[in-house]
Amino acid sequence: MKTILIQKRRSAQNPFEVCMGNGQRITFTSKRNARQFMAETNRFLTKALITLNQTYIDSLREYRLIWFVTANSHKGTRTNYWDVERKIKDQLDSCEMCFNKFGQHWAGSDDPFFSFIDLRKIAAFMGEACRVMAEFHKKRNNTPGYYVCLTLADRCQAVINKLSVYPSDGSK
């Protein structure tokens, strides 16, 4: 299973410093506290990665359902959804590219900075794709599909919010 295992601790004399990709810079006075915090951060980032992966799976399913409608409609004049399909596909392809970074670069990396940034990118790309799909469903008067896509977009926004405020309780 792919997990995030960050172990970076910079030492400037005694304190240990960790720079997060959300703008936080946290300094520890002991190596033990730094290790404990990094373990908590690893669990948090892995949970975010798993949540986004599940959302990606659900988003791909929704895209494939839309694909049936958009695939042959580019020949019509009133129902030209080719641009909608392209927007969704581009956003999901960007997600795939960022997910591949985790498998190649950040899974065993020393730096939490880029993990935070790439997780935010994945959530932003996927959230945008889900919002485009929701608008598509709204135009087609497909209420269940509309709310499913809005829920997926909300899930992405929740991950972005959690990444932005981590660590929210100020624990070090």
More confident of the two residues 48 and 9: 48
Range of the domain at 134: 10-165
- Taking only the tens place, the pLDDT of each residue in 23-48 is 788 888 888 888 888 888 889 988 99
Domain assignment present for residue 3? The answer is no
- Tell me the C-alpha distance between 71 and 91, whole Å: 17
CATH number of the domain bearing residue 41: 1.20.140
Query: Is residue 170 assigned to a domain?
Result: no
Rounded distance between C-alpha atoms, residue 120 and residue 132, angstroms? 18
3-state secondary structure of 48: helix
**For the stretch 86-123, what's the b/e string if a residue is b when 16 or more beta carbons lie within 10 angstroms of its beta carbon?**
ebbeebbebbeebbebbeeebbebebbbebbbbbbbbb
Residue 10 clears pLDDT 70, i.e. is over it: no
Query: Given pLDDT bands bounded at 50, 70 and 90, which one contains residue 1?
Result: low
Is 171 inside any structural domain? no
User: What pLDDT, on a 0 to 100 scale, did the predictor assign at position 38?
Assistant: 84
Q: State yes or no: pLDDT of 16 exceeds 80.
A: no
Question: Residue 10 in 3-state DSSP?
Answer: strand
77 φ, ψ (degrees, to nearest 5) = -95, -35
**Count of domains forming the chain:** 1
Residue 75 pLDDT more than 90? no
Q: Are 127 and 153 in contact (CB under 8 A)?
A: yes
Instruction: Judge whether 4 lies within some domain.
Output: no
Position 1 in a domain: no
**Is 90 part of any domain?**
yes
- Kindly tell me if the per-residue pLDDT of 15 is higher than 90: no
Instruction: Report in angstroms the alpha-carbon separations of 71 from 65, 84, 94, 106, 129.
Output: 10, 11, 21, 36, 17
**pLDDT for the residue numbered 97:** 92
User: Can you give the pLDDT at residue 8?
Assistant: 52
Distance CA 93, CA 32 (A): 40
Quick check: 165 pLDDT over 50? yes
pLDDT digits (tens, 9 = 90+) for 87-135: 999 999 999 999 888 766 655 555 677 888 899 999 999 999 999 999 9
